[in-house]
Structure 1
Amino acid sequence: MTSSQIVLLLFIGYLVFTLDKKQNYVPVPVVLVVTGIILSFIPYFSSIHVTSQMIYHIFLPPMLFSSAYRFSSDHFRENAGIITFLATIGIMATVAILGSVIYAISGPFISMSFVGALVIASILTPTDPVSVVSILEQSGNSKKISSVVEGESLINDGTSIVIFTFIAGMLIENESFTVMSFLQDFLIVSIGGTLIGVAFGWLMSKAVHITHNREYQVMLSIVLAYGVFNFAEQVGVSGVLATVFAGIMLSFEYGRTIKENDLKDKLDGFWNIAELSVLALLFLLIGIESSNYLAFNAWGFAFMIFAASLFIRFIIIAGTTQIFPAWRKKISWRESTLLSWAGLKGSMSVFLILQLQSRSSGDNDMIISLSFAAVLISLVVQSLGVTPMSKKLTK
């Protein structure tokens, strides 16, 4: 991708964002993805090739960090139980149930192995709220729901990578699977990434006092976002969770010890612009790349997969919140419905699809196409529906 292509894509992203200038909360990711698909038919943009490593190492760290450091530590503590459950046990249960359903209904459409169905399920489990959080807060005035959605999405990105890696290894390389080996690796990768993130976030909160120059302090936050991600990946633990918990730790320290409001204003000033720029590029590139896989004859099955993923997510959220009395008081069935709907698919799902594509030799093209289609359906349908649903359910 050339510098001129990047500049043009950023300008197109700017034009799309201006659609929201009256704060009507246009589902910007949908518009960006559709625009990207249209751009893929223009020779100048059709040459762009998006790789999984490009998304993982360039786009994800700033998106994760900017969301995490602004995520209220008070809201995290208040909803820690629900967030942690949905991002760990909930996501594992979703993969198992959704994979079984996909395999059971695949017969009339395509020939698919059970492991292949589990791979699709693992791709569709990470959530990506993007603009959904601001839409929820504005249209339904539900800070609790938006906090759970955002907190879950931050943590389940790391969980989904571990689950996907195991199942994709079974599909592509015929690796064996044992519950103990999975749990062992899962705990090492997850806890290791979390501890590294907490440590680096704490160090950052102390290091900002070395200099009183706000521009230098913002520069240090960039080093933290990318540095902790790559360091964690180098030592074999989750870079995603390391970046997320570095940001959350920084948010905690802001509330406890760091009282300089102008520092947070400087950070917000930079990261708000960086997040919008990354968001525009990423979803335009998702549209351009996905166009290569959308010409297939199983769109009906893709819609069924999307519907099944939404229904199963609702069953798990509604079921678990009703089982535990403390959660039952917090989350009603209406809020469970909204939580389910707000968990749309996005950047992490696309990374997993491209990761599968890079590891495959062409024999998993149908899985890739179905996954891309289900992600796009989720983006369009759920983004368009979240505003009327949140207004109706939170009256």
Structure 2
Amino acid sequence: MVFLAEVAEISIKTNLQQFVLVLSISLTVATFSRIFSWLRQIPYTLLLVIVGLGLAFIDVRLVNLSPELILEIFLPPLLFEAAWNIRWRELQKQWLPVTLFALVGVAIAIFGIGFALSQWTNLPLATALLAGAALSATDPVSVVALFRELGASKKLTVVMEGESLFNDGVAVVAFLLLVGIPLGTQSLSTSATVATFLTFVGVGVGLGCLIGYGISFLTQRFDIPLVEQSITLVAAYGTYLLTEELGGSGVIAVVTVGIILGNFGSNIGMNPRTRLVVSEFWEFLAFFVNSIVFLLIGDQVNFASLGNSLDLIFVAIASVLVTRAISVFGLGWISNRFGSSDKLTLSEQVVLWWGGLRGSVSIAVALSVPVVLGDRQEIINIIFGVVLFTLLVQGLTTQFVLEKLNLIGDQPLRQEYSELLARRVALRRVLDYLSQLDIAPDVDEEFYNYERDLVKGELRSVDEKIEKLKNQHPPLRQLDMQQLRDTLLDIEADTYAEFIRIGRLNKDLSPLLQEVLVKSTEREIKG
């Protein structure tokens, strides 16, 4: 017993040392990427992959990367953070392309990649379909971060991120349905596959809604930021584990919970300060997890093994690019034909095609292939090869594509203008506070006047910058109206939440102003 205890203690110490080493390298890369200007041109997550490849090349292995580590420890917080931050209003506007890409696009990728590998290589069809399922999940973390940094359109960001959120779940479910075919434990039956798929998705969505709305109404009854923050963390992991245990898709359940809590629960059950605390917590956690995952992806590459499967990797890369093009351009045309007026332009479709990277989810499902499968190593080699190509070739050239297609637009300007508006509101509130403040006897009046004049000077400076930008760029005036309308809707939602907390309402009311403002906008457009 003493020996076992000593072994366990050594194992814990070794794991802790490995964890600290991985974290230290990740933070060093993050620091250097901000210090050296030439490194800022490369997305942070791609820098981590490159560093990981360098470590793998000199055969330095930081830690063993198991599929359970990604799926059960890393994947839930990454999914929850993305779902928490995506705005339901924006997602509704793009529901058709997101749905088509996440459902039909996954099917096109699975069968397109699978048939290409079975026809042009020696892989059996069942094994090739497994590889197709693993590669059907897009993981554009670095691309979305690049969109935000460069100020790409909100529509492009929402479609890319929304597709990734939902197709991860669909891809994992498809993989679980197909994995038994090459093992001989199940056959490819269309009716049985559809029924099983609907069960996976139905259980995931059902449990996600139940937990999401349950937590939303629970947090109305108290206001303790740290507790509410902890509840969201438990919700992310607990939902995933419970749903997987009950035979559903944990990925889809976590996404559902994240969307509900981020768009509904945080409005009716959290005050603005708590929402900010929770958002900052998840932003840190996503940075933390991404730092580890992308570093370990590069570090786990086996160059010798990849070299033996170059023919498989080349066929897989070509089929990934072709099937992605069919999905984006074909389904994009259908979306534009039958969807809303906010259509995807050809330039935006090109970016969606080129920015469809593969990453941690593909690696995780590939490593989860049973060891008894004879072609397991070939599948792993294919996935690692394609992931490295998409990250290092497509990921590093996405900024060039955005610039050439002129899709960066005026978003940086709009961001600067939004920041000035926020500064003006903040300074006005400070000035209001000072004007209503009774000067205490121990406060020097001259010092008080100095502080007040200082704030007034800053406010004048901000006002001048705002007016200058509006005169130079008249379309920015529309941003004033949009922010006013968003503020009105937020005030209405916060009022309903307050009434629920004090017991004057027992359910959340639908926003009345939203319908009124939409009708007003329609009248303005017609006028």
**How high is the TM-score relative to the length of structure 2?**
0.70
Output the CA distance in 2 between the equivalents of 1:148 and 1:210.
Answer: 35
Instruction: Provide the secondary structure at the position in 1 that maps to 2:186.
Output: coil
Output the CA distance in 2 between the equivalents of 1:295 and 1:95.
Answer: 22
Q: Counterpart in 2 of 1:93?
A: 108
C-alpha displacement of 1:206: 1.9
Q: Which runs of 5+ in 1 are unaligned?
A: none
Q: Counterpart in 2 of 1:29?
A: 45
The superposition leaves residues 278-297 of structure 1 with CA deviations (integer Å, 9 ceiling, x where unpaired) of 11111122222233774432
* Alignment CA distance shift 1:46-1:386 (3 Å): same
- Aligned-partner residue type, residue 344 of structure 2: I
* Alignment CA distance shift 1:354-1:301 (3 Å): closer
Q: Which runs of 5+ in 2 are unaligned?
A: 1-13, 410-527
**How high is the TM-score relative to the length of structure 1?**
0.92
C-alpha displacement of 1:19: 3.9
Q: Among 20, 41, 58, which residue is 1:7 paired with?
A: 20
Output the CA distance in 2 between the equivalents of 1:316 and 1:70.
Answer: 26
| 2:223–2:270 contact (8 Å) kept in structure 1 | no
| 1:321–1:327 contact (8 Å) kept in structure 2 | no
Give matches, 1:133-172, under 5 Å: 133-139=144-150, 141-172=152-183
Q: Counterpart in 2 of 1:381?
A: 393
- Aligned-partner residue type, residue 39 of structure 1: L
C-alpha displacement of 1:150: 0.4
* Alignment CA distance shift 1:10-1:47 (3 Å): closer
Farther off after superposition, 295-304 or 225-234: 295-304
Give matches, 1:203-352, under 5 Å: 203-253=214-264, 257-258=268-269, 260-291=271-302, 294-324=305-335, 325-327=337-339, 330-352=343-365
* Alignment CA distance shift 1:29-1:75 (3 Å): same
C-alpha displacement of 1:65: 0.6
Output the CA distance in 1 between the equivalents of 2:321 and 2:250.
Answer: 28
- Aligned-partner residue type, residue 164 of structure 1: F
| 1:294–1:373 contact (8 Å) kept in structure 2 | no
Output the CA distance in 1 between the equivalents of 2:315 and 2:192.
Answer: 33
* Alignment CA distance shift 1:41-1:305 (3 Å): closer
Farther off after superposition, 166-175 or 308-317: 166-175
Q: Does 1:71 align with 2:86?
A: yes
Q: Among 402, 407, 417, which residue is 1:390 paired with?
A: 402
The superposition leaves residues 369-394 of structure 1 with CA deviations (integer Å, 9 ceiling, x where unpaired) of 12211111111111101111122222
Taking only aligned residues, the RMSD between alpha carbons, in angstroms, comes to 2.2
| 1:32–1:280 contact (8 Å) kept in structure 2 | yes
Output the CA distance in 2 between the equivalents of 1:176 and 1:24.
Answer: 50
Instruction: Provide the secondary structure at the position in 2 that maps to 1:208.
Output: helix
Give matches, 1:359-374, under 5 Å: 359-374=371-386
| 2:52–2:295 contact (8 Å) kept in structure 1 | yes
Instruction: Provide the secondary structure at the position in 2 that maps to 1:183.
Output: helix
- Structure number with higher relative contact order (C-alpha < 8 Å, ≥ 6 residues apart): 1
Output the CA distance in 2 between the equivalents of 1:256 and 1:352.
Answer: 35
| 1:19–1:26 contact (8 Å) kept in structure 2 | no
Q: Counterpart in 2 of 1:52?
A: 67
Output the CA distance in 2 between the equivalents of 1:18 and 1:208.
Answer: 37
C-alpha displacement of 1:259: 6.2
Output the CA distance in 2 between the equivalents of 1:8 and 1:146.
Answer: 33
C-alpha displacement of 1:261: 1.5
The superposition leaves residues 78-108 of structure 1 with CA deviations (integer Å, 9 ceiling, x where unpaired) of 11121112111221122112221222222xx
Output the CA distance in 2 between the equivalents of 1:144 and 1:20.
Answer: 28
Output the CA distance in 1 between the equivalents of 2:170 and 2:324.
Answer: 16
- Aligned-partner residue type, residue 207 of structure 2: I
How many correspondences in the alignment? 389
Q: Among 16, 23, 31, which residue is 2:29 paired with?
A: 16
| 1:65–1:225 contact (8 Å) kept in structure 2 | yes
| 1:232–1:242 contact (8 Å) kept in structure 2 | yes
Output the CA distance in 2 between the equivalents of 1:29 and 1:206.
Answer: 37
- Seq. identity, %: 29
The superposition leaves residues 200-238 of structure 1 with CA deviations (integer Å, 9 ceiling, x where unpaired) of 111222222333221111111111111111111111101
* Alignment CA distance shift 1:99-1:361 (3 Å): closer
